[in-house]
């Protein structure tokens, strides 16, 4: 069962309709859209640039996506819903990829974040890692929770790390978090997104984005591929469950 698009979102339905084009496959258009968003917000070169004939189409898609994000509440999983509903769901089943629905993600966040977080020390951030991020829905749900409970500036105190072995999923996560903080003016303290196998060789990891908003001492802002950071990501992927079968709660 795939995740349906929010039926109340006319703008998002319009975006879904634009992914249906006889000249190009919907998955190709979707990938071009994600790469276009990342290129605009990070300045990185596109790894799979669209043909010249598709540029106007991609611009229209990017504009429709920005409008959808501006219309929706902050940190909704729009690209995840769009991908599961429009882009070849049978292919997703073959690869075993199913994005978590947003209501389930919200419940999981409430179960894992066991306490209200006070302001961290001045030389560090609260840190959270999602080693198999998919569409980034769990991090989006956490952002939504902290924003609602503690206000816009609360997310300046957080460092978000995400990773997925599917480069497209890593790109979706990076695009959604970057676009939301830009359009809704909700800055994140730090954002690091990798494409690669969390349990694989670090040499094979690719940094999709590494952005720091909160001014911090240089010693606390490590490069994305610094050994202590990559070891922490691997440790997060191997995190044990507690005696009740639940993830160990997030702590400072």
The reported pLDDT for the residue numbered 243 is 40
The reported pLDDT for the residue numbered 2 is 39
The reported pLDDT for the residue numbered 227 is 80
Concatenate the DSSP letters of all residues of the chain into one string: -PPPP-TT-HHHHHHHHHT-BTTB-HHHHHHHHHHHHHHHHH-PPPSSPPPGGGHHHHHHHHHHHHHHHHHSPTT--HHHHHHHHHS-HHHHHHHT--PPPHHHHHHHHHHH--S---PPPTT--EEEEESS-TTTHHHHHHHHHHHHHH-GGGGGGEEEEEEESSHHHHHHHHHHHHHHHHHTT---SEEEEEES-TTS-GGG-EEEEEEE-S---GGGS--TT-HHHHHHHHHHHTPPB-TTSPBPPP--
Q: What are the residue ranges spanned by the domains of the chain?
A: 10-95, 121-237
The reported pLDDT for the residue numbered 194 is 94
The reported pLDDT for the residue numbered 50 is 87
Output the tens digit of pLDDT for each of the chain's 252 residues. Answer: 334 455 446 777 888 888 888 899 888 899 999 999 999 998 887 777 889 899 999 999 999 999 889 988 899 999 998 888 777 554 555 456 678 888 899 988 888 876 655 566 667 788 888 988 999 999 999 999 989 888 888 888 888 999 999 999 999 999 999 999 999 999 998 999 999 988 888 888 998 999 888 676 665 677 777 787 888 878 777 764 444 444 454 443
């Amino acid at each position: 069962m795939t995740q349906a698009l929010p039926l109340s979102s006319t703008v998002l339905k319009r975006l879904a309709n634009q992914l249906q084009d006889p000249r190009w496959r919907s998955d190709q258009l979707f990938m071009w859209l994600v790469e276009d968003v990342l290129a605009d917000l990070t300045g990185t070169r596109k790894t799979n640039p669209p043909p010249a004939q598709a540029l106007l189409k991609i611009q229209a898609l990017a504009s429709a996506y920005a409008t959808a994000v501006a219309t929706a509440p902050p940190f909704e999983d729009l690209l995840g819903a769009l991908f599961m509903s429009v882009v070849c769901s049978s292919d997703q089943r073959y690869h075993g990829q199913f994005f978590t629905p947003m209501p389930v993600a919200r419940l999981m966040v409430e179960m894992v974040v066991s306490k209200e977080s006070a302001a961290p020390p001045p030389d560090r951030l609260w840190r959270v890692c999602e080693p198999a991020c998919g569409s980034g829905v769990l991090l989006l749900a956490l952002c939504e929770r902290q924003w609602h409970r503690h206000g816009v500036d609360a997310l300046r105190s957080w460092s978000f790390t995400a990773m997925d072995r599917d480069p497209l999923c890593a790109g979706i996560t990076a695009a959604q978090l970057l676009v939301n903080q830009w359009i809704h003016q909700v800055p994140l303290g730090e954002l690091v997104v990798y494409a690669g196998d969390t349990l694989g060789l670090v040499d094979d990891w690719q940094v999709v984005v590494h952005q720091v908003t909160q001014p911090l001492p240089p010693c606390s802002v490590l490069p994305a591929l610094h050994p202590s950071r990559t070891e922490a990501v691997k440790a997060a992927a191997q995190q044990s469950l507690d005696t009740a079968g639940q993830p160990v709660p997030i702590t400072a």
